[in-house]
A and B are shown apart, each in its own frame.
Chain A
Amino acid sequence: MSLYQICFWVLTVMALGCALGVILSRNPVSSVLFLIATFFAISGHYLLMNAQFLAIVNIIVYAGAIMVLFLFVIMLMNLNADTEPQKNRLVQLAGVVSGGILFLVILAALRSSSVNVLEQTPTDIGLIKNLGKTLFTQFVLPFEISSVLFLSAMIGAVVIGKKEEVA
């Protein structure tokens, strides 16, 4: 095994293990922390593919900003195991059945499709210069449209968050 493969397997185990931890842990705060660890593992995978910019942006945006806000909300709501609403058996059964069906559908879809094997050799496309050139020439329209989408989401949040005027 080369160093590359060792890193790959360690990161993969870490990503999957932490992702499982997100859904299996009872305490919402530790769920969030597992999710942050998952993001780190994914950033590690980006690094292995020589996509340094994506790796660090993933950490800054997701781990550094979005998850802080998540943690924020969860801490303020102060969720504990005691206050968690107890679900009855029927709801649990329905959850298992619908989850299982979704799993089957995904499995069937994966079986019938041909999976493209990603290139193993690291390329330079993930470096910031190449990435910027590609984004602002080849993909400039989708890039700008998605930024408009974010702007509209932001304005929407402000509108919803604003106190209603007393009529």
Chain B
Amino acid sequence: MQLLQVDIWFIIEKLVLITVILLGSLGIAMYATWGERKVAAVMQDRIGPARAGLFGLLQPLADGGKLFFKEEILPDRSTKFLFIMGPALAMLTACMTSAVVPWGPDYVTQTGRVVSLQVADINIGILFVFGVVSLGVYGVMLGGWASNNKFSLLSSIRAASQAISYELAMGISLVALLMMTGSLSLREIVSQQHGFWHDGYFTWNFFKQPLGFLIFLTCSFAELNRAPFDLPECESELNMGYHQEYSSMKLGFFLFAEYINLFISSAILATLFFGGYNFPFMDQVAASVSPLLFTIICVLVLLTKIVGFILFFMFVRWTLPRFRYDQLMRLGWKSLIPLALINMLITGIVVLWVIK
């Protein structure tokens, strides 16, 4: 009976990588909550969290500790199993997407071993992300329904219809991008954006698909349930939204999953449109430093882009007012989907033209 014929080092390497990525995304999500409060404070001319540690840096830990010690309440008339499943699913889907993001170029050790900084380079790459994102709505839906509260139910229905409406435009804008790259693998998409300038034009997809990027970005705001599209958490109409009945760490999971999603979608945006770990003059840098240092620089470049996107998401949240629900639906169905379709058509024509 032979079960596993795989290289043991391969498994260890992947396990380490998965652990690092998971802990990293949790850590970044943790400090994104701190960052959000600081950004809000700056934009509203306040100081923000400042008591716990230097610049309030220990604030996320204090928040987490507080949530852990809060009383856990299961509403009497709720569906218990689904009530617990909701936040668990939200967290699970938030953590799954990072598996296909290439965090850096392959690192070749002195012994000739190739270490890949991507957990799984699967053939369907970006579709996997899409699949997981489309499942993400179940956490909110089940949690909202199982709470047996009308506000939660309304909120979860809003979340679901919003997610489905914006997934369409997102998918179509992505099709236009995929027509150009000719591959679904994120690794392939990133390696096509090598460097910054090639053959008289930018290599990054942002410069080739500006409209596609704008549509994708707008849709990711909606998928993240963030302002200006945070209708499921609209306090003035729905109290707290779908997590009205939640307390303790189950509430924490819902809130935390949102920040992990923020991190991951920034990573996906950077990977798809802003060259991933590529940066200008990378070939010159690669020639002058050791391979290990080069890999680290690449990872840092990607992280910088991700932090940039996270900050952008935050600035938008504290700048724009919330949409009304009919405006949200009109924007999704009557503006973004036709625009995405036109973008796809033009891209198709151009791609055919260039090939001919």
Measuring CB to CB, which residues of chain A are less than 8 angstroms from any residue of chain B? 1-3, 29, 33, 36, 52-53, 56-57, 59-60, 63-65, 68-69, 71-72, 75-76, 127-128
Contact = CB atoms under 8 A, between A and B. Distances in A.
Classify the secondary structure of A's interface with B: helix
A61 B3 CA distance: 33
Contacts of A72: 141, 157, 160-161
B12 interface: no
B259 interface: no
B283 to A, nearest CB: 30
29 contacts: A1-B1, A3-B3, A29-B79, A29-B145, A33-B82, A33-B142, A52-B122, A53-B123, A53-B127, A56-B124, A56-B130, A57-B127, A60-B130, A63-B135, A64-B130, A64-B137, A64-B167, A65-B134, A65-B164, A65-B167, A68-B138, A68-B141, A68-B164, A69-B164, A71-B160, A72-B157, A75-B153, A127-B123, A128-B184
Contacts of B123: 52-53, 127-128
- Secondary structure of the B side of the interface? helix
B288 interface: no
Contacts of A59: 131, 134-135
Interface of B: 1-4, 79, 82, 122-124, 127-128, 130-131, 134-135, 137-138, 141-142, 145, 153, 156-157, 160-161, 163-164, 167, 184
A52 B124 contact: yes
B141 A63 contact: no
Nearest to A55: B124
Contacts of A57: 127
Given A3-B4, A71-B141, A76 B135 contact: no
B134 A56 contact: no
A143 B167 CA distance: 23
